[in-house]
């Protein structure tokens, strides 16, 4: 779910929607305002934020909005807390938790996993088989495994569900040996066509919901998203440091 779309709708609907919420409690007022301008907005929870007078709206997939108690004012952006002489990005922290929750709910059987011998942590990569940087990243999977990083792939056909990449990703997910099929696709070799009940469309929708717009989109174990390719040594360092901080 792109937040720009949400606020484009809000900008058009402010006058007509917010007056309806004035006499409701905070939760009802905020929900009514948001659903008036976008009925399908996937609100997961509304709670008081650490900033007095401001409410935190958590969307499915982890994205955050902020609102006044009467639903008349909405904000999109980062909320920081200054503590012990440093600024803590509370929005990024909460969004990462939401992303991690959504990713961790996906069973391993719905992914294409390259685990290595002794993984210390994992990354989850939204991938498109015809993406050049995705192919480059895949060429370094063995090195990532050697450095202790398990690589989990989710499908994200950048051109949508009617694209050739979508069909190829379906063939990868429906192959008897998904790892071999993924490696074929990433080396620009033809993957035997196959069809089955598969999670490609669902994973594409999840990627959009958490803010993925391009590939590779790399999700660390703590839910932080790294957009774009990173060399294996650098990526492994980031992933391991992140996992250590999360303990």
Write down the pLDDT at residue 154.
98
Three-class secondary structure of residue 75 per DSSP: strand
- In angstroms, the CA 234 to CA 34 distance is 41
Write down the pLDDT at residue 7.
44
> For residue 121, which of 238, 3, 38 has the smallest C-alpha distance?
238
Walking along the chain (247 residues) 10 residues at a time, the average pLDDT comes out as: 42 35 68 88 89 89 89 90 90 91 94 93 96 96 97 96 95 97 96 96 95 95 94 96 78
pTM: 0.80
Catalytic residues: 128, 131, 134, 158
- Is 59 in contact with 43 (CB distance < 8 Å)? yes
Specify the CATH class of 102-246 in words. Answer: alpha beta
> For residue 200, which of 170, 222, 176 has the smallest C-alpha distance?
170
Write down the pLDDT at residue 45.
87
DSSP type of residue 139 = T
Residues 128, 188, 234: CA angle, nearest 5 degrees = 60
Domain ranges of the chain: 3-85, 102-246
Write down the pLDDT at residue 14.
35
Instruction: Write the pLDDT tens digit of every residue in 182-216.
Output: 999 999 999 999 999 999 999 999 999 998 989 99
- Which fold would CATH assign to domain 3-85? Nuclear Transport Factor 2; Chain: A, (3.10.450)
- Is 183 in contact with 151 (CB distance < 8 Å)? no
């Amino acid at each position: 779910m792109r937040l720009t779309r949400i606020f484009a709708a809000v900008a058009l609907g402010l006058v007509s929607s917010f007056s309806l919420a004035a006499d409701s409690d905070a939760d009802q007022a905020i929900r009514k305002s948001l659903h008036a301008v976008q009925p399908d907005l996937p609100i997961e929870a509304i709670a008081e934020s650490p900033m007095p007078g401001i409410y935190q709206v958590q969307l499915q997939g982890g994205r955050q909005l902020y609102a006044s108690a009467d639903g008349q004012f909405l904000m999109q952006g980062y909320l920081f807390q200054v503590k012990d002489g440093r600024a803590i990005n509370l929005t990024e922290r909460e969004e990462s938790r939401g992303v991690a929750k959504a990713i961790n709910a996906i069973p391993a059987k719905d992914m294409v996993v390259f685990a290595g011998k002794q993984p210390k942590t994992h990354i989850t990569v939204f991938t498109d088989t015809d993406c050049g940087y995705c192919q480059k990243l895949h060429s370094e999977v063995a090195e990532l495994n050697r450095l202790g990083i398990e690589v989990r792939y989710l499908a994200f056909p950048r051109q949508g569900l009617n694209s050739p990449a979508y069909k190829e990703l379906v063939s990868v997910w429906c192959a008897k040996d998904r790892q071999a099929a993924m490696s074929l696709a990433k080396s620009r070799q033809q993957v035997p066509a196959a069809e089955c009940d598969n999670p490609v469309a669902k994973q594409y929708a999840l990627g959009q919901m958490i803010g993925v717009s391009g590939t590779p989109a790399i999700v660390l174990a703590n839910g932080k998203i790294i957009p774009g390719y990173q060399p294996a040594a650098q990526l492994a360092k980031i992933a391991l440091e992140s996992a250590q901080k999360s303990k």
